[in-house]
Amino acid sequence: MLCFIEATQILNRFNIRNKVLEIHCIQESENNENYRGLFQITTENKVYVCRISNEKNFPMPLVEKQSQFAMILHANGVNTARKYRCQNNYCIHHLINGIEMQITLEEYIGEDLSDVGIGFLKEFGEVLGRVHSVSSKHPFVIGRSFISDYIQNDKARFSKILEKAEPPLPDFPYVHIAEKLHDNLVHELAKNWHLLPMGAVHGDLGAFNNLMNTASGVGIIDFNLAGDEAFLGDVLSSYYASIHKYLWKDLFSGLNELNAFLIFWEGYSEHYSVSEIEIEYFPQVSALFDGLFYCKCAIEVWNNGFQEEALLMIKASNKHFDPSVHPFPQIVYEEANNEYRK
């Protein structure tokens, strides 16, 4: 837990002299050797969020780059939290209880997004579109990728998804079919993934994940997984991760899947214009992430004890992995959108 003296010292290092009134722990790990803590610091006239970490996989140069990218977005009108500098650095070293920690400090911009309705889909698309638009116009290299690294270096294997199942899934033919469809898509995309427009992205946006209610609309926090990715992979993985993990069963079960995507894509395309190569590869990339996150959801259903339902989902995954049912939105947009608005 961050104490008042330490919080005051940290604020002072960022040239902030406000009196600390309250400290709220947002998140804190128990492992001091790979520690991460997030603390909300309330002062007499402003609220801040302080990140304290000594995680080995997130060295100081990486965190500094991620913070710089966040501020590029901030400077170009994207609703992100302002980060504070100590001299020329956003990320600094600071001793806490004799342990050297990495510290970043940013303004508090609002509460977690909690009310997600149909309108959220368009807002979500708009946020991603703004990020990709700024990133494409103001190139910046963070120096780490996640999705692109897995695809281009042949590390994205369906077997890794199956390893998460407890107990293991039975050795049914349709499990192997799903595995073959996934791995074949990855293999084909890996050949030309480098042709897709790339740039710095947030990398971890979704429903109830790093999106905040702010006075200026939906805002973005936590650039911990920001990296260099293909924009098309980022937008589609963000959408399908949210749809399959959080939204369909609880919130959007009565909404046509195509109409839901078109609402999302309408928001995205208002701010980012896709290239011809992105249009060409859209069916394959969309099929990959639709199938991937659908099957991840099925594994969660399996692990929660609903094994029959999970197996039916895996059996149905061939549709999600099929590029032919994922045409580029403009091809079907007008017809489907008119049907939705009747």
Distance CA 208, CA 114 (A): 7
Tokens, residue 212: 């905040």
Instruction: Give the pLDDT confidence score for residue 340 in this predicted structure.
Output: 46
Distance CA 286, CA 323 (A): 7
| pLDDT tens column, 296-321 | 999 999 999 999 999 999 999 999 99
Low-confidence ranges of the chain (pLDDT < 50): 335-337, 340-342
pTM, full prediction = 0.91
Please say whether the beta carbons of 293 and 241 come within 8 A. Answer: yes
In the chain, list all ranges with CATH 3.30.200.20: 4-107
Please say whether the beta carbons of 72 and 139 come within 8 A. Answer: no
In the chain, list all ranges with CATH 3.90.1200.10: 112-340
Tokens, residue 5: 């003296």
Instruction: Give the pLDDT confidence score for residue 334 in this predicted structure.
Output: 52
DSSP secondary-structure letter at 325?
G
CA 286 to centroid of chain Cα atoms: 16
DSSP for 12-75 reads HHTT--PPEEEEEEEEE-S-GGG-EEEEEEEESS-EEEEEEE--TTS-HHHHHHHHHHHHHHHH
Distance CA 323, CA 246 (A): 23
Instruction: Give the pLDDT confidence score for residue 128 in this predicted structure.
Output: 98
Q: Spell 109-147 as b/e; 16+ CB within 10 A means b.
A: bbeebeebeeebbbbbbbbbbbbbbbbbeeeeebebbbb
Residue 315, amino acid: K
| Residue in the structure block whose two tokens are 């009108």 | 77
Residue 20, amino acid: V
Q: According to the CATH classification, is domain 112-340 in 3.90.1200.10?
A: yes
Decide: residue 76, CB within 10 A, 0-12 exposed, 13-18 middle, 19+ buried.
middle
Distance CA 222, CA 70 (A): 9
CATH number of this structure's domain 4-107: 3.30.200.20
DSSP for 251-267 reads T-TTS-HHHHHHHHHHH
Distance CA 17, CA 339 (A): 58
